[in-house]
């Protein structure tokens, strides 16, 4: 046979092919080995968990609803019955349709006789999105997610609820202890899996796939019964606390077994992966838009990191099979990069100075609640009867505009009349919780006169809390007269309470305009220890709310009587002494009938309660009736008798001779009825008395009356009773409720900021919705973090909380806003009135101090909270203007980080209060001020900034935290303000002060006009308005040069329009007329008359009347000086001027046509033809001849007589 011969090249090709196959096998083997090695040596990540657990969580499913319909698509395929709810599109592509829960109650899906959660193990899992736009009547109420219905006598309980703070809890076995540690943000899609184990009596919560802490105990009272399951509502019809679910529920799974940690995680990731991908794509779009804004240069590190985060996110979403952990990591990284970028990108705050949204009284609005008890919690010096100097300085530093007195709960049984006069004649007051252990009467050193003196000293307005728990309409009317009437006004007759005030050192009225009727009188509990309902809970035939509103008859049955100055039950027991007196707690207080020698004498005719008082003495359960008699003087030593004074409510016992003494330690009980005045009657008394004072005094006092009954029922019933005119608003105390977090400062802070919105602001908004349409206001007379005792209450944390909520209270229209409380003991605890840490000024006990009485030496220091008030009270405008942020970043729990409140004052100065509640990031705020050009204005910034949210003052370092102020700067335009993390800032932009206007020319012009004689002008009224306006400008110290110039121009223009009257020429004309009657030939020299007439100038104005009159006088003087010419043969005196021989020879000046000898003055006769002007005397020749002959005769006779004389010598 022949052999197959291969050439060399073919051999090579075959060998290469063989080696290639061998190499591929080796690579494949290596890869397989490597894969096995990796599976053994590398931890399992989410992907492998998902693969392993996927089959598990999908197995043994009792039911699953994706809510394309109400029928389950797995397991038992149960059908849910929908009760007033629908299946609707969610608007989210991941979920599609879901159960939709709206407003109202009794909205749910039910599954009849569905499951027994009282035995074995059960699991529930769901996605939901809570609708935060729906507000609840009670903002603290929980939303029900899963609920059992009752079955016979078997109690169905709440399986799963979402608390108002975003935490979960269960009541499956009758206990509320199993609350999650973590809170979720409402408004986002959330996933919750809950696993109940009745064998271990525990519950596990898986929040978004992660186990919350550890398994939590649920109690032992399980309901071992198959019960109906409700999805989304409580079993009780109409329940609002807890209330139904709001929003969407989807992907509901039910198991009759316990899910494992991995199953719970995979169940979450089944939708979360897809949801993360959708959300991440949305976030990428936002991030790219942010990057393209160009706010930061490309070389900026934050710009670079954001670009990198966008790239990583795109890569994560573009993977063929997206991995949950990768998506989550990419989203977290991108979110943080965006936050960091934004933190360095200014957020605009638009401020419209022309749009005023609220008017406030900035002088009094930011106030504080103070309490009279225990010497004002150590702030009052009872020896010198004045406030302590160190405390006063801290108070003045905070600048509180108003002060609430006598306090809150402590005021409900305050009897103001017994705090008047000298200290030794006053009576102890009764605590609002008078029957707590160790509680006794309270020394009234810090009385109504003392608070008024203090308020005057520190320039604070008094807000008065009237004690409805003890008072009545007449007492309230007397109070108004005492506070607000002048001495002698006495609007209601009887005692002149203004005179009582004057006798106690204050002649002038206090002018109190705000009255709260009671404090928190809607809060129930045990009378004397927790309740603030007092007598209202004993009203006959009506509820407590109606009793508060309209009063009525109360019936007290077998309730212990009290000492007048100590209502504690133990103290009120018999002490075995003779002549003991006890009082009926809720009898009306005697108003007083006479004021004599500085004392109020009881009105003996007054009736404090109805007839028929019954008295019993003994121990509880073993009481013996005692007989009420008119006069104990007729009783024997063993007679169980007592007297009742119906004018005061006093019960008097015997002395052992006349009437038995109650055994020591016995209780003294009484049954009685009293007619009590309610809110409406008391309010009428306050308002009517105010009206009477105004009418008598001609004043315009106001009396604003506010209810303390903080319920929707009060609002509705006042409308039903047509009595809305008797209340002006409702006091609301929107405390935070308990803040979780404990000593974890960050968790406490975050929860506090959330509580600020949910409770601190939310509670007021809910009431506002009802009050505002009726023209009523919310009145915030107490607020703050309550009920916590952590040291954070004395720190920057509480200060930021206060600033955050306070801004909203201003916007909501509260006439005054008062923090609780002004002062309390520096301690780690609390008393019956609450934690001591909430006081803005802490009172530190000295070695000799007594906190039970408030006597002794105390020192004081301010907390950062006090500085919030200091900053606001150092300057704020009365006109609140509109503000709006371009965006408001939120914390992880959804709490908003930025708040702003802007105002302007009468001078045009602008104030902007800013809060940055973010505890991790500073923020730059670009002020965009509309309606005002701030260029050239001066800006100052006050800052409350700390390095830490726990920063606080202490007794050792009382000024560790302080307010700082930046140096004044002149603005070139709208500024950018850097807000440090967890800080409060007030920016003041002072309107530029223009140079003082030059008013000299205007003043000269005004003086010139003032010097004018109004009678000289025909139309002087044309200048009156401009003259008045000019004087206003001169008086205005802030008038601008432009205003001055305008006033000057207007005045001069008006002056130019004046028309002066002509001068009166009557005297001139009369004088000329006299001259015309004369014949100048009859006088030696008539030229002076002619000259005077020629000098007359016509057309003069009335201001030259003296000149005109002088012309007349000159003519008259010239006429008077004329000398008669001599007549031949009659050398005698000339005839009197004014009797011319030939009238008519003198013509009037100005009549040149007539041939007279006198021409018009100033108009000489012109030569006429050939007539030669006469320049000399025209005496006739005959006269001259006669004179010559006469002269010769006289000379001859003279010579003859001279010769005779010579001869006789």
Give dist(CA 1058, CA 1019) in Å, integer. 6
Domains and CATH numbers, the chain: 56-259 (2.60.120.200), 280-345 (1.20.1270), 552-676 (no CATH), 1000-1056 (no CATH), 1066-1182 (no CATH)
- Counting Cα atoms < 13 Å in the Cβ hemisphere of 66 gives 8
Backbone angles phi, psi at 182, to 5 degrees: -95, 145
The whole-number average pLDDT for the span 345-351 is 95
Return all residues near 795 (Cβ < 8 A) that are at least 6 apart.
863, 864, 949, 950, 951, 952
Rounded CA gap, 1168 and 1160, in Å?
Answer: 17
Q: Token digits for 510?
A: 């206090």
For residue 343, the model assigns a pLDDT of 83
First to last CA, the chain: 231
Mean pLDDT of the chain: 89
| Tokens matching residue 254 | 């039910």
Mean pLDDT of 224-230: 96
Phi first, then psi: give them for residue 747, nearest 5 degrees. -65, -40
| Strand bridging mode 247-255 / 97-101 | antiparallel
The tokens of 365 are what? 């609005």
Report the pLDDT averaged over residues 875-895: 95
Given a contact cutoff of 8 angstroms between Cβ atoms, the answer to whether 870 and 799 are in contact is no
| pLDDT > 90? residue 798 | yes
Beta carbons of 753 and 917 less than 8 angstroms apart: yes
In sequence order, the β-bridge partners of residue 33 are none
pLDDT digits (tens, 9 = 90+) for 75-87: 999 999 999 999 9
Whether 405 contacts 498, CB under 8 Å:
no
Q: Among candidates 1010, 999, 1009, 1067, which has minimal Cα distance to 1035? A: 999
- Any idea which of 439-443, 516-520, 828-832, 859-863 has the lowest mean pLDDT? 828-832
Which of 212-216, 296-300, 351-355, 1184-1188 is predicted least confidently?
1184-1188
Q: Which residues pair with 425 in a beta bridge?
A: none
| Confidence check: pLDDT of 1119 > 60 | yes
DSSP state of 329: H
870: how many CB neighbours lie within 10 A of its CB?
23
Taking alpha carbons only, the member of 296, 299, 329, 324 closest to residue 312 is: 329
**Arithmetic mean of pLDDT, 1134-1154:** 42
SS3 call for 699: coil
The closest alpha carbon to 282, from 245, 250, 353, 330, belongs to: 330
The secondary structure of 764-826, three-state, reads HHHHHHHHHHHCCEEEECCCCCCCCCCHHHHEHHHHHHHHHHHHHHHHCCCCCEEEECCEEEC
The values of phi and psi at residue 1153, to 5°, are -70, -30
Average pLDDT over residues 303-309: 95
Can you tell me the distance from the alpha carbon of 516 to that of 404, in angstroms, rounded to the nearest whole number?
10
364-423 residue pLDDT tens: 999 999 999 999 999 999 999 999 999 999 999 999 999 999 999 999 999 999 999 999
| Cα distances (Å, whole numbers) of residue 339 to 888, 919, 921, 1044 | 12, 13, 9, 54
Residues 1075, 1119 contacting (CB under 8 angstroms): yes
Measure Cα distances from 806 to 148, 823, 838, 922 in Å. Answer: 42, 19, 15, 21
What value does the mean pLDDT take over residues 769-795? 95
What is the C-alpha separation between 489 and 477, in angstroms, rounded? 13
Question: Rounded distance, CA 675 to CA 587, Å?
Answer: 9
Strand partners of residue 169: 161, 179
> Between the CA of residue 272 and those of 267, 279, 383, 980, what are the distances in Å?
9, 10, 71, 36
Average of per-residue pLDDT across 862-871: 98
What sign does the CA torsion over 392, 398, 402, 406 have? Answer: negative
Average pLDDT in the 722-729 region? Answer: 98
**In the predicted model, is pLDDT for residue 444 greater than 70?**
yes
Going by pLDDT thresholds of 50, 70 and 90, the confidence category of residue 1192 is: low
CA neighbours closer than 13 Å in the CB half-sphere of residue 382:
23
Residue 985 in this model has a pLDDT that exceeds 50 = yes
What pLDDT shows up at residue 918?
97
Supply the pLDDT for residue 1129: 57
Q: Which helix or strand (DSSP H or E) is residue 301 part of? A: helix 301-318
Asked if the model's pLDDT at residue 1 lies above 60, the reply is no
Beta carbons of 524 and 537 less than 8 angstroms apart: yes
Position 42 scores a pLDDT of: 30
184, HSE (Cβ side, Cα atoms, 13 Å) = 27
Q: Shortest CA distance to 717 belongs to which of 768, 679, 674, 675? A: 679
How many helices (H) and strands (E) the chain has is answered by 25, 50
pLDDT reported for residue 139? 78
Q: Is 1169 exposed, middle or buried (0-12, 13-18, 19+ CB in 10 A)?
A: exposed
pLDDT of 528-538, one tens digit each? 999 999 999 99
Q: Which residue bears the tokens 């609840």?
A: 136
Q: What is the pLDDT of residues 211-223, one digit of tens each?
A: 999 999 999 999 9
Residue 44's pLDDT is 29
Range with top average pLDDT, 8-17, 181-190, 262-271, 475-484: 475-484
* Cα atoms in the 13 Å half-sphere on the side-chain side of 208: 16
Burial class of residue 1052, CB neighbours in 10 A (0-12, 13-18, 19+)? middle
> Is the bond into 852 cis (omega within 30 degrees of 0)?
no
Sheet holding 667-676, edge to edge: 552-560, 667-676, 614-619, 622-629, 641-645, 650-653, 581-583
Q: Given this model, what pLDDT does residue 731 score?
A: 98
pTM: 0.73
Per-residue pLDDT at 1196 = 54
Kindly tell me if the per-residue pLDDT of 890 is higher than 90.
Answer: yes
**Residue 1060 phi/psi, 5° resolution?**
-85, 145
């Amino acid at each position: 046979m022949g052999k197959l011969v291969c050439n060399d090249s073919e051999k090579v090709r075959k060998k290469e092919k063989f080696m290639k196959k061998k190499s591929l096998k080796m690579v494949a083997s290596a890869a397989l080995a490597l894969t096995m090695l990796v599976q053994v040596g590398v931890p399992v990540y989410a992907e492998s968990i998902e693969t392993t657990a996927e089959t598990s969580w999908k197995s043994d499913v009792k039911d699953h609803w994706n809510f394309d319909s109400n029928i389950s698509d797995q397991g038992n395929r149960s059908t849910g019955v929908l009760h007033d709810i629908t299946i609707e599109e969610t608007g989210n592509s991941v979920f599609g349709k879901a159960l939709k829960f709206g407003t109202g109650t009794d909205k749910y899906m039910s599954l009849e006789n569905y499951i027994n959660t009282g035995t074995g193990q059960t699991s529930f899992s769901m996605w939901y999105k809570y609708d935060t736009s729906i507000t609840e009547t009670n903002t603290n109420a929980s939303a029900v997610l899963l609920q059992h219905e009752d079955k016979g006598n078997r109690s169905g309980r709440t399986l799963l609820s979402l608390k108002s703070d975003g935490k979960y809890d269960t009541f499956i076995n009758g206990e509320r202890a199993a609350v999650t540690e973590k809170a979720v943000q409402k408004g986002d899609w959330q996933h919750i899996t809950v696993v109940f184990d009745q064998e271990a009596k525990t519950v596990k919560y898986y929040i978004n796939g992660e186990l919350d802490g550890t398994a939590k105990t649920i109690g032992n009272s399980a309901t071992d019964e198959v019960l109906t399951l409700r999805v989304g509502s409580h079993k009780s019809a109409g329940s609002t606390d807890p209330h139904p679910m709001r929003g969407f529920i989807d992907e509901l799974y039910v198991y009759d077994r316990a899910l494992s940690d991995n199953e719970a995680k995979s169940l979450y990731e089944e939708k979360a992966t897809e949801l993360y991908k959708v959300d991440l794509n949305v976030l990428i779009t936002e991030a790219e838009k942010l990057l393209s804004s160009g706010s930061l240069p490309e070389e900026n590190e934050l710009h670079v990191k954001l670009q990198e985060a966008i790239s990583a996110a795109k890569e994560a979403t573009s993977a063929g099979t997206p991995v949950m952990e990768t998506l989550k990591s990419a989203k977290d990284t991108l979110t943080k990069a965006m936050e960091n970028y934004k933190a360095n990108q200014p957020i605009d705050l638009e401020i419209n100075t022309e749009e005023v949204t609220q008017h406030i009284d900035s002088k009094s609005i930011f106030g504080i609640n103070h309490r009279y008890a225990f010497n004002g919690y150590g702030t009052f010096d009872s020896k010198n009867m004045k406030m302590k100097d160190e405390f006063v300085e801290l108070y003045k530093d905070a600048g509180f505009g108003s002060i609430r007195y006598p306090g809150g709960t402590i005021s409900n049984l305050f009897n103001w009349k017994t705090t008047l006069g000298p200290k030794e004649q006053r009576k102890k007051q009764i605590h609002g919780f008078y029957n707590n252990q160790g509680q006794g009467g309270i020394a009234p050193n810090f009385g109504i006169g003392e608070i008024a003196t203090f308020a005057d000293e520190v320039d604070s307005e008094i807000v008065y809390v009237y004690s409805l728990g003890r008072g009545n309409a007449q007492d309230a009317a007397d109070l108004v007269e005492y506070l607000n009437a002048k001495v002698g006004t006495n609007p209601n007759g009887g005692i002149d309470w203004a005179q009582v005030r004057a006798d106690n050192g204050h002649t002038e009225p206090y002018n109190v305009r705000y009255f709260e009727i009671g404090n928190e009188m809607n809060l129930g509990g045990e009378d004397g220890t927790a309740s603030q309902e007092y007598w209202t809970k004993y009203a006959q035939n009506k509820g407590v709310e109606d009793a508060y509103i309209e009063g009525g008859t109360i019936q007290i049955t077998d309730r212990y009587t009290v000492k007048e100055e100590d209502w504690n039950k133990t103290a009120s027991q018999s002490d075995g002494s003779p002549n003991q007196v006890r009082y009926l707690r809720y009898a009306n207080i005697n108003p007083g009938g006479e004021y004599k020698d500085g004392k109020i004498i009881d009105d003996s005719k007054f009736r404090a309660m109805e007839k028929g008082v019954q008295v019993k003495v003994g121990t509880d359960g073993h009481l013996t009736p005692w007989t009420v008699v008119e006069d104990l003087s007729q009783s024997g030593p063993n007679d169980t008798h007592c007297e009742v004074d119906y004018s005061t409510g006093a019960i008097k016992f015997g002395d052992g001779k006349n009437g038995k003494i109650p055994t020591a330690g016995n209780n003294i009980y009484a049954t009685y009825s009293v007619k009590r005045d309610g809110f409406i009657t008391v309010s009428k008394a306050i308002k009517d008395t105010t009206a009477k004072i105004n009418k008598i005094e001609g004043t315009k006092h106001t009396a604003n009356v506010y209810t303390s009954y903080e319920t929707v029922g009060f609002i509705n019933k006042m409308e039903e009773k047509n009595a809305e005119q008797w209340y002006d608003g409702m006091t609301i105390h929107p405390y935070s409720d308990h803040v979780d977090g404990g000593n974890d400062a960050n968790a406490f802070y975050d929860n506090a900021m959330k509580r600020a919105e949910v409770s601190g602001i939310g509670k007021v908004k809910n009431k506002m919705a009802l009050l505002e349409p009726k023209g009523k206001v919310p009145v915030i007379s107490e607020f703050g973090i309550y009920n916590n005792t952590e040291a954070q209450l004395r720190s920057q944390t509480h200060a930021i909380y206060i600033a955050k909520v306070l801004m909203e209270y201003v916007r909501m229209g509260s006439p005054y806003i008062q923090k609780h409380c002004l002062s309390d003991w520096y301690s780690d605890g609390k008393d019956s009135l609450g934690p001591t840490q909430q006081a803005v000024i802490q009172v530190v006990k000295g070695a000799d101090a007594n906190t039970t009485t408030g006597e002794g030496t105390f020192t004081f220091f301010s907390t950062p909270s006090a500085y919030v008030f200091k900053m606001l009270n150092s300057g704020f405008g009365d006109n609140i203007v509109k503000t709006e942020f371009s965006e408001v970043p939120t914390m992880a729990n959804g709490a908003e980080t930025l708040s702003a409140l802007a105002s302007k004052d009468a001078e045009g100065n602008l104030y902007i209060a800013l809060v940055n509640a973010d505890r991790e990031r500073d923020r730059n705020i670009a002020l965009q001020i509309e309606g005002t050009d701030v260029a050239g204005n001066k800006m100052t910034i006050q800052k409350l900034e700390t390095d830490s949210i726990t920063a606080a003052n202490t007794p050792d370092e009382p000024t560790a935290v302080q307010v700082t102020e930046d140096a004044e700067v002149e603005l070139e335009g709208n500024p950018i303000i850097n807000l440090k993390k967890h800080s409060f800032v007030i920016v003041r932009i002072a309107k530029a002060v223009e140079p003082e206007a030059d008013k000299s020319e205007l003043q000269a012009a005004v003086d010139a006009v003032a010097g004018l004689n109004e009678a000289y002008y025909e139309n002087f009224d044309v200048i009156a308005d401009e003259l008045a306006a000019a004087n206003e400008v001169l008086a205005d110290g802030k008038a601008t040069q432009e205003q001055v110039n305008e006033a000057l121009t207007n005045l001069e223009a008006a002056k130019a329009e004046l028309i002066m009257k002509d001068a009166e020429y009557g005297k001139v004309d009369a004088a000329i007329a006299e001259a015309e009657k004369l014949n100048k030939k009859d006088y030696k020299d008539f030229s002076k008359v002619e000259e005077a007439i020629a000098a007359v100038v016509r057309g003069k104005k009335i201001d030259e009347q003296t000149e005109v009159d002088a012309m007349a006088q000159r003519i008259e003087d010239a006429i008077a000086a004329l000398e008669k010419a001599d007549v031949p043969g009659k050398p005698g005196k000339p005839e009197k001027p004014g009797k011319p021989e030939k009238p008519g020879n003198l013509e009037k000046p100005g009549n040149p046509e007539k041939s007279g000898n006198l021409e018009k003055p100033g108009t000489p006769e012109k030569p006429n033809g050939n007539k030669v002007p006469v320049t000399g005397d025209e005496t006739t020749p005959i006269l001259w001849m006669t004179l010559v002959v006469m002269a010769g005769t006289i000379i001859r006779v003279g010579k003859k007589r001279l010769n005779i004389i010579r001869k006789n010598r």
